[in-house]
Amino acid sequence: MTQWSGYLGLILQGALVTIELTLMGSVLALIMAFLAGMGRVSRFFILRAIATAYIEFFRGTSIFVQLFWAYFVLPFAGLSLTPLQAGVLALGLNVGAYAAEVVRGAILSVGREQYEACTALNLGRWQGMRHVILPQALLVMLPTFGNNAIELLKATSVVSLISLADLTFQAQVVRSQTGSTLMPFLSVLIIYFALALIISWGVRTLERRMARGLDGVRV
């Protein structure tokens, strides 16, 4: 049993890498989501085109392939990334493309009358977006952002393929060293699930806090 605690240490180290990837990937995904999502509703054709191309490309190709490109192909273009950087880049860009559509949908879900109130009060387009539309849209985005974050957490396991020692990678190490299959895979199963629960809970708390005062009344 004492020997297990050592192996558990390995798995927990992997968990830290997974958490790190999830957090950094989520930050990049969030940035990409807002850039591309707002690009999609821009009145400038060129911004709409760039945002659409980004979204379609990263939704339409596999995250494995994107990761391999980030890690194995970019060096040929003179850009060498560490496994962690490549992982964050691939995860952030991939999930960001899905979340961009969430941002776009949420912005469009805010009623036309809110945009008209902005015009009548002479707010500029960006002022209205920043102070009136986005704060209301954010509440619509949050639940789906929670889903996206959980998807990203689960997708982090692909980085084990570029030998980054994340949770899944460490489970395989422990399995090959001990010959035990159940123990490592059961522990990572539980840890992934626990992390996902934390994300769900965090997003729900945020949602409740932001909805305060609205009383569930969405005009």
Partner 1 sequence: MPAPIIKVDAISKSFGTFKVLDGLSMQVMPGEKLALIGPSGSGKTTILRILMTLEKIDGGHIQVDGEQLYHMERNGQLLPADERHLARMRQKIGMVFQLFNLFPHKCVMDNVTLAPMLTKGVARAAAEKRAMELLDMVGLADKAKAMPAQLSGGQKQRVAIARALALSPKIMLFDEVTSALDPELVEEVLNVMRKLAAETDMTMLLVTHEMGFAHDFADRVLFFDRGRIVEEGKPDEIFRHPKQERTQSFLKKIIAAGHRV
Integer Cα distance of 56 and 53 in angstroms: 5
**Distance, CA of 80 to CA of 159 (rounded, Å):** 16
CB of residue 117 to partner 1, shortest distance in Å = 4
CB of 7 within 8 A of CB of 182? no
Nearer to partner 1 by Cβ, of 78 and 216: the residue is 216
Tell me how far CA of residue 65 lies from CA of 94, 149, 203, in angstroms: 11, 20, 30
Closest CB 134 distance from partner 1, rounded Å? 10
Residue closer to partner 1 (CB basis): 204 or 218: 218
- Does position 218 interact with partner 1 (CB under 8 A)? The reply is yes
Residues in region 101-160 near partner 1 by CB under 8 A: 113-114, 116-117, 119-125, 127, 131-132, 135-136, 139
Q: Which CB sits closer to partner 1, 125 or 204? A: 125
CB-wise, 78 or 213, nearer to partner 1?
Answer: 213
Residues touching partner 1, count (CB under 8 A): 23
In terms of CB distance, is 5 or 122 closer to partner 1?
Answer: 122
Q: With beta carbons less than 8 A apart as the criterion, state whether 185 and 135 touch.
A: no
Give CA–CA dist 102/151, Å, rounded: 14
* Whole-angstrom distance, CA of residue 95 vs CA of residue 75: 23
Assess 215 for contact with partner 1 (CB under 8 A).
Answer: yes
- Please name the residue that has the structure tokens 């902005």: 118
Instruction: Kindly state the smallest distance separating residue 106's Cβ from partner 1, in Å.
Output: 13
At 163 the three-state DSSP class reads: coil
Residues that bind partner 1 (CB under 8 A): 113-114, 116-117, 119-125, 127, 131-132, 135-136, 139, 213-215, 217-219
